[in-house]
Structure 1
């Protein structure tokens, strides 16, 4: 039996998210309804799926319309178009990542993973028997990564490098050493500090043209449609896609036609840019609100202000010592109804005092949740323990 450790962030969300009045732990852009989605279309207001369509298995590898839309989007900043057959549809990005690990990684392999990141990306290769080293971002240097450190982590049996951001230097190293680079791009293209039309807008890793790269994505985070459970894998390397497609037969036969139809509609020419613009504006407006909260509480917290995505990692401290984030987050949700996620429980024991805050929810939820948090901190912060004062779990 494969042994795998508790999935910290998902366990915390299971325990505390459902009862929260103000969910500021969620990582998706504020969810939308089908009516909302259709209202964003600049073209003919056609139905998303015909009510007369027969709901069989559908296209096994993914709907043709959805794959065509993804291929078009991935080809926007690429030197050459991404072939449609190099995209595989899955049940969410978590399934995409699982399939890649299951198909490509095993005992005797070495994996290097950008850290901190989603726990699946390093826990699952470990459970499959691979040796995993963490390539750690430095919070004191704006969470930057050191390419020289990556070089030191390389081994003769390094099979895969897992990153959450676009790094051309990583691709160059991977090509020299014949290593696969996997980029989990679930938050792409929510680079809200850059105009989407700007030449500085980061392309997808797969758009660099290298056959050593793989990306995964989903409709959940940047596209506000977590409820349809739709993700994908894309690569310039058709051999990788075919190997993963073989592994996919053991897990899912096909993805729901209903989910695929919604995703295809959302990523169509008529809708995509409006949906992304809606979420870009939401992220920019809400980040200003969270920034003001951090400024107002700068005596007890600090952060590296996000330039993309939907989450912030904020560090709380008292007398030079990190606050016990688990106590803070547990009491905050139980007594004020505000859900945050503690960094040390969710991402690694070294992140003491850190909390993850999702800020691209409905703006009023963020305003009200932070207002309740401010009142609660005013009354309770001084009594919160630091990590040195707290008993070991």
Structure 2
């Protein structure tokens, strides 16, 4: 194992998040309490946690009911209904990704990874000794991927194609046609597909038909990861999952985890089981989709008001937007200094794209903004950002 690179976006969040007055960098839907979950369930008498239950390790792979509730999120995806045996519950999606990458990638392997994306998805394989080729999304095509480029990137030793759908930081989604093309290519070359779907199913701007999970194409050599953090507003319980039609993938990841956390907290398991039960899940998602649409309209109004200084591809799903800022000269603004000065003056927090998603080389002038917090946070945060745009923005240096 080689030295792993510093996790830039998590370092940035750790440095600024706790002291932010207006956190415009939050990537989770506005968090909910256990009391809120009871309301979404429609019954105040329902017990979320069984206080009489002895706190042993519990079901190592996750309780059967929780795994069934997670499987229900992918109904019809794997030759019909997904089974609980095809689900492994993990400590957040970050562990789900780590376990699958550790289990499937090693020295001498090659990986193709969609880009930009969450740094874990390419830095972790590199740390295991794999060579990683970045499959760059095309902003001019709504951050889409070109299949002909995949053919050029793949090598004889390619083990994984890594996707992030919906995409962090852009909020873009891959179409059914693109996914089908990726699956057909992977099947032809017997390559496993790793699909980080942590922002699924928060589809707020995709029209009448939501894009499918990678599990919907009948290809066994693939798996999806997800969690309760982003779309389901419960980052605090640290619970995620791996789902695959190939139970050997689930078995291998479970075996790997024996060396780390062994199982998830029984308390977290119970809360997640409750949250993913009906009607709680549907009511929670309805609230989050409505919040996303309302807040996205406010961000859109900001981008239109300051079109001389910024532009974007409007997100279709998830909680994040990737906005490009530039000076009067048309050159990209120095995004790190922009975020630092904005925070110092107003307490409003954004994430610089070049630092956290581009290795200081790519995405100069871009910032990631999270827009599915409580509505008042967006209203107040955008207000101080507008004030900064009028008072300080034009003093910022450009590249």
TM-score grouping bracket, smaller chain normalisation = over 0.9
SS of 2:41's partner is coil
- Is 2:38–2:44's contact at 8 Å kept on the other side of the alignment? no
- Is 1:43–1:270's contact at 8 Å kept on the other side of the alignment? no
Q: Deviations over 1:70-100 (max 9, x none)?
A: 1122114554111211100100000000001
Give yes or no for the alignment of 1:361 onto 2:373.
yes
Equivalent residue, structure 1, for 2:322: 313
Equivalent residue, structure 1, for 2:251: 242
- What's the offset of the Cα at 1:26? 0.9
Equivalent residue, structure 2, for 1:391: none
- What's the offset of the Cα at 1:141? 2.2
- Is 1:89–1:232's contact at 8 Å kept on the other side of the alignment? yes
- What's the offset of the Cα at 1:44? 7.6
Equivalent residue, structure 2, for 1:80: 80
- What's the offset of the Cα at 1:35? 0.5
Superposition RMSD on alpha carbons, in Å? 1.2
5 Å-filtered alignment, 1:1-393, equals 2-42=2-42, 45-76=45-76, 79-165=79-165, 166=174, 167-194=179-206, 198=208, 200-318=209-327, 319-348=329-358, 349-387=361-399
SS of 2:321's partner is strand
- Is 1:316–1:354's contact at 8 Å kept on the other side of the alignment? yes
SS of 1:242's partner is helix
CA distance in 1, matches of 2:104, 2:78: 25
CA distance in 1, matches of 2:140, 2:269: 42
CA distance in 2, matches of 1:72, 1:208: 16
- Is 1:171–1:212's contact at 8 Å kept on the other side of the alignment? no
- What's the offset of the Cα at 1:163? 0.7
- Is 1:4–1:124's contact at 8 Å kept on the other side of the alignment? yes
- Is 2:76–2:82's contact at 8 Å kept on the other side of the alignment? no
- Is 1:80–1:209's contact at 8 Å kept on the other side of the alignment? no
Larger CA deviation: 200-209 vs 329-338 = 200-209
- What's the offset of the Cα at 1:49? 1.3
- Number of residue pairs the alignment of both structures matches: 384
- What's the offset of the Cα at 1:194? 3.6
Query: Gapped runs of 5+ residues in structure 2?
Result: 166-173
TM-score, length-scaled by structure 1 = 0.95
- What's the offset of the Cα at 1:51? 1.2
- Is 1:20–1:337's contact at 8 Å kept on the other side of the alignment? yes
- What's the offset of the Cα at 1:209? 2.1
CA distance in 2, matches of 1:367, 1:120: 31
- What's the offset of the Cα at 1:43? 6.0
- Is 2:77–2:215's contact at 8 Å kept on the other side of the alignment? no
Q: Deviations over 1:227-279 (max 9, x none)?
A: 00000000011111111111110111110011111111010122111111110
